[in-house]
C-alpha cells in the first residue's frame, strides 16, 4: 500500500471511527439499500458454470508464480501480472509454458496491465502510477505519477490507442472529503477513474461516483471499477463501486445516463452493514454479502462480475477463494442473463470474451510451481 493510500485509509478509519462519538457525523447512519429492482432477466443461468471456448495449461517451468491479477494477450503470447512477485510473466500459449519475465521483479502494489500489441508496449498500473515497458526487452520507457489522493483499484486499465490515453480505475477524492462526510455520503463530489494523456503526462478526473455511501467499512470502500463502451449510440463509459449494487452508464462527456441495479438471485445480501473497521470483519462480511469485482463493456452489453467469499473464517495470511458470477445487461438497463458462474475472478478481456485463471483444485495459492489454466470465456449475448 502506497503512503498516499495509507493516509487515505487512515483518514477513512479515523473519520468513520468517530461515528457514534458525537460531533457533526455523530451517529452511524442507518440508511437502507433499496428493494431489489423489479426488472427481470430474460434468462437465469442458475449458477451453471460457463464453458471455455479456449484454454491453455501454463507451466511455470520450475519457477514459482503468485496470484495473477491481470492478463493481456497478444497473438500466441500472454502477459501475466503477478501480484506477489511484482512482475509480468511472459507465456507462450502454443507451447503452454511461462518462458520468463517481461519486466524486472519487485514492482510494488501492481494493480492492472494493458498492452499495445502493435507497438509492443506494456502499461502497468502500480502504487506510484503507471510504468511503461517494452514487452520484448523489459526496458522501462516512461513513468507517470498518479494523482494525489487517488486510490488504485485492481482491474484492467483502458488503453485508447487513437487518442494515446489510458483510463485507470480507482477512486479520486481528498482527505478533507473523507474526514468531513458521513459514511452515507462518503462519495459525494468524488470521481471514479483518471484519464492519463500518455503524450503530455497530464491526468484528469473521469466519471462521478455511482453510490453516495459505503455499505461495509474498510479498505474496500476505496475501490471501484471502470471500463469503456464502443457499441452503443450514447454510452461510452461504465463504472461501479466494489461495495455497491449499481453500475453507472455515462456518455462521452462523463455525464451519468443511468444507474442500473445489477443485483440477481446469486448476489448475496444479509441486510447488515459492516460497521467495524478491521480487515477480518470486512472479509467476514464478504462471506454473506456480494461485491462487484469488475464491470466490462462488450458492444451494447454490460458484464458485471460479482462474488462472495467461498472461504469462511478467514485469518490474516490465509488463502481466500471466491464464488464468482457474471450478469449481463444491455446499456439501456435491460437484464439479459443472470448468474453465469465463472471458475475464478476475470483477469482480462478481448473484444468478445473474458480471461480467467483457474488455479486447480488447490485454489488461489499465493506462490506455487504448479501449472495454472488460462481460460477464455465468451460473453453471452
Q: What is the pLDDT of residue 5?
A: 46
How many helices and strands in the chain, by DSSP H and E?
3, 26
| Residue 124 reports pLDDT greater than 70 | yes
What is the number of domains present in the chain? 1
- Domain presence at residue 30: no
Report if residue 180 sits inside a domain: yes
Confidence class of residue 153 from pLDDT cuts 50, 70 and 90? Answer: very high
How many whole angstroms separate alpha carbon 275 and alpha carbon 267?
20
Cα–Cα distance measured from residue 144 to residue 128, given in angstroms and rounded to the nearest whole number:
8
- Cα(238)–Cα(210) distance, integer angstroms: 10
37, part of any domain: no
- The answer to whether residue 14 scores a pLDDT higher than 50 is no
Return the higher-pLDDT residue of 20 and 114: 114
In a domain, 33, yes or no: no
What pLDDT shows up at residue 8?
Answer: 44
In a domain, 228, yes or no: yes
CA distances to 91, 305, 338 from 44, in Å: 36, 15, 5
Residue with C-alpha cell 497530464?
202
Dihedral angle sign, alpha carbons of residues 91, 95, 96, 97: negative
CA distance 144 to 72: 20
Query: Would residue 28 count as lying in a domain?
Result: no
Q: Average per-residue pLDDT in the chain? A: 88
| Residues 185/213, Cβ–Cβ less than 8 Å | yes
Q: Where are the beta strands (DSSP E) in 275-359?
A: 291-298, 301-309, 322-330, 335-342, 346-349, 353-358
Mean pLDDT, rounded, for 185-193:
89
Q: Cell numbers of 117, please?
A: 500489441
The DSSP call for residue 173 is: -
User: What CATH number did the domain enclosing 335 receive?
Assistant: 2.120.10.30
pLDDT the model gives residue 61: 87
Residue 180 has pLDDT above 70, yes or no: no
Tally the residues of the chain.
381
Q: For residue 179, what pLDDT is reported?
A: 52
Instruction: Determine the structural domain holding residue 313 and report its residue range.
Output: 3-15+42-378
- Give a yes or no: residue 238 inside a domain: yes
φ/ψ of residue 175, rounded to 5: -60, -40
318-364 pLDDT per residue, tens: 899 999 999 999 999 999 999 999 999 999 999 999 999 999 988 99
Q: Does the pLDDT value for residue 146 go beyond 80?
A: yes
Q: Quick check: 321 and 310 in contact, CB under 8 A?
A: yes
Closest CA to 64 of 101, 20, 109: 101
23 inside domain: no
The answer, yes or no, to whether residue 28 has pLDDT greater than 80, is no
Question: With contact defined as beta carbons under 8 Å apart, do 112 and 104 qualify?
Answer: no
Amino acid at each position: 500500500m502506497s503512503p498516499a493510500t495509507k493516509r487515505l485509509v487512515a483518514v477513512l478509519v479515523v473519520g468513520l471511527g468517530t461515528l457514534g462519538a458525537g460531533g457533526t457525523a455523530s451517529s452511524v447512519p442507518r440508511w437502507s439499500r433499496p428493494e431489489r429492482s423489479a426488472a427481470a432477466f430474460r434468462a437465469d443461468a442458475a449458477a451453471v458454470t460457463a464453458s471455455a471456448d479456449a484454454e491453455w495449461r501454463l507451466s511455470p517451468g520450475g519457477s514459482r508464480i503468485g496470484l495473477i491479477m491481470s492478463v493481456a494477450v497478444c497473438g500466441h503470447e500472454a502477459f501475466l501480472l503477478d501480484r506477489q512477485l511484482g512482475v509480468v510473466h511472459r507465456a507462450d500459449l502454443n507451447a503452454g509454458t511461462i518462458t520468463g519475465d517481461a519486466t524486472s521483479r519487485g514492482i510494488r502494489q501492481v494493480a492492472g496491465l494493458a498492452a499495445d500489441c502493435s507497438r509492443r508496449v506494456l502499461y502497468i498500473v502500480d502504487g506510484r502510477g503507471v510504468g511503461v515497458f517494452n514487452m520484448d526487452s523489459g526496458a522501462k520507457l516512461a513513468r507517470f505519477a498518479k494523482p494525489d489522493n487517488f486510490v488504485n483499484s485492481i482491474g484492467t486499465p483502458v488503453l485508447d490507442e487513437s487518442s494515446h490515453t489510458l483510463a485507470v480505475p480507482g477512486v479520486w477524492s481528498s482527505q478533507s472529503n473523507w474526514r468531513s462526510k458521513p459514511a452515507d455520503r462518503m462519495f459525494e463530489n468524488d470521481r471514479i477513474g483518471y484519464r492519463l494523456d500518455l503524450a503530455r503526462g497530464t491526468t484528469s478526473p473521469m466519471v462521478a461516483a455511482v453510490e453516495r455511501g459505503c455499505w461495509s467499512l474498510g479498505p474496500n470502500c476505496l475501490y471501484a471499477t471502470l471500463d469503456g463502451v464502443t457499441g452503443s449510440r450514447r454510452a461510452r463509459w461504465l463504472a461501479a463501486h466494489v461495495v455497491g449494487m449499481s453500475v453507472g452508464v455515462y456518455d462521452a462527456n462523463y455525464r451519468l445516463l443511468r444507474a442500473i441495479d445489477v443485483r440477481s438471485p446469486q448476489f448475496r445480501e444479509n441486510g447488515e452493514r459492516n460497521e467495524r473497521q478491521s480487515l477480518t470483519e470486512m472479509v467476514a462480511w464478504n462471506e454473506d454479502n456480494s461485491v462487484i469485482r469488475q464491470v466490462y463493456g462488450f458492444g451494447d452489453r454490460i458484464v458485471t462480475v460479482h462474488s462472495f467469499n467461498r472461504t469462511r473464517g478467514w485469518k490474516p495470511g490465509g488463502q481466500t477463494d471466491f464464488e464468482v458470477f457474471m450478469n449481463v445487461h444491455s446499456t439501456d438497463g435491460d437484464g439479459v442473463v443472470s448468474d453465469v458462474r465463472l471458475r475464478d475472478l476475470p483477469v482480462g478481456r478481448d473484444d468478445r470474451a473474458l480471461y480467467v485463471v483457474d488455479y486447480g483444485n488447490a485454489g488461489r495459492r499465493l506462490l506455487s510451481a504448479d501449472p495454472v489454466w488460462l481460460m477464455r470465456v465468451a460473453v453471452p449475448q
